[in-house]
């Protein structure tokens, strides 16, 4: 927010928080302010004037009429609506660009001899074959190590980096994992290339994964939990 929200000179003097009431009052103000800032509602506005409006509300000595307040708030709401529309349009553009980039990546990646492309669009590459044996079913749980990246190499999640494998049910993960892990045996280490519709699609669970992203996972199946 640096350079957008203008710090108030009033905030430079630390308040006395010795009493319980003062702590409650400060906590309420802190919570309200954090919410407003986190939502971007005060971007570009003068914090001294904002705080003056709050202060004046306690004694009712205002510098504008109620009609002027409503008119100003209507302008503010219009700005917020325009901002949301711009953000939605930008998100749609970004999602479309990510989808196109992912399709181009998969088309090129699928041409490599070591990559297998399934009917679903899922691609995988065997990095290391285990001793063979049983494969998990869709109703099984598994213990696995994984390292997830975007197509540009950005790491978004990694049990390898955390130093602890993950345990999960195959029925409760993204479709690409459910399909791929049923083809693996304990000890196998594969690299999975998941099309967006076999990963999170447009509904990303984290800002680290942009909507419509192709996801790449190095997965090592360690154990089947039945």
**157 annotated active-site:** yes
Question: What distances in angstroms separate CA 150 from CA 50, 93, 214, 216, one per listed residue?
Answer: 42, 18, 7, 6
**70 annotated active-site:** no
**200 annotated active-site:** yes
**26 annotated active-site:** no
H-only helix segments in 158-197: 159-162, 175-181
From the number of C-beta atoms within 10 Å of its C-beta (0-12, 13-18, 19+), residue 176 rates as: buried
Structure tokens at 199: 């990963």
> What would you report as the CA-atom Rg of the chain, rounded to the nearest whole angstrom?
26
Q: Which of 26, 50, 146, 168 is catalytic?
A: 146
Q: Which of 43, 50, 140, 156 is catalytic?
A: 156
Q: Which of 105, 124, 217, 224 is catalytic?
A: 217
Q: Which of 105, 124, 157, 193 is catalytic?
A: 157
CB 40 within 8 A of CB 76: no
Strand-strand pairing, 215-225 and 155-158: unpaired
**174 annotated active-site:** yes
Q: Which of 200, 216, 218, 224 is catalytic?
A: 200
Structure tokens at 213: 């992203």
Chain centre to alpha carbon of residue 144: 23
Point out which residues pair with 6 in neighbouring strands.
46
- What are the catalytic residues? 146, 156-157, 174, 200, 217
């Amino acid at each position: 927010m640096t350079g957008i929200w203008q710090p108030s000179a009033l905030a430079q003097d630390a308040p006395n928080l010795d009493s319980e009431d003062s702590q409650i009052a400060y906590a309420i103000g802190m919570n309200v302010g954090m919410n407003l800032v986190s939502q971007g509602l005060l971007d570009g506005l003068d914090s001294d004037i904002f705080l003056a409006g709050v202060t004046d509300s306690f004694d009712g000595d205002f510098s504008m009429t109620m009609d002027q307040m409503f008119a100003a708030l209507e302008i503010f709401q219009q700005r917020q609506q325009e901002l949301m529309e711009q953000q939605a349009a930008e998100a749609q553009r970004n999602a479309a660009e990510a989808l196109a980039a992912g399709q181009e990546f998969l088309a090129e990646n699928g041409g490599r001899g070591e990559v297998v492309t399934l009917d679903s669009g899922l691609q995988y590459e065997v990095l290391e074959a285990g001793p063979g044996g049983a494969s998990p079913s869709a109703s099984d749980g598994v213990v696995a190590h994984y390292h997830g990246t975007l197509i540009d190499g950005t790491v978004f999640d990694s049990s390898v980096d955390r130093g602890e494998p993950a345990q999960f049910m195959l029925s409760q993960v993204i479709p690409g994992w459910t399909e791929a892990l049923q083809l693996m045996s304990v000890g196998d280490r594969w690299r999975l290339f998941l099309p967006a519709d076999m990963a999170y699609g447009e509904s990303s669970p984290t800002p680290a994964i942009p909507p419509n992203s192709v996801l790449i996972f190095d997965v090592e199946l360690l154990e089947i939990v039945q």
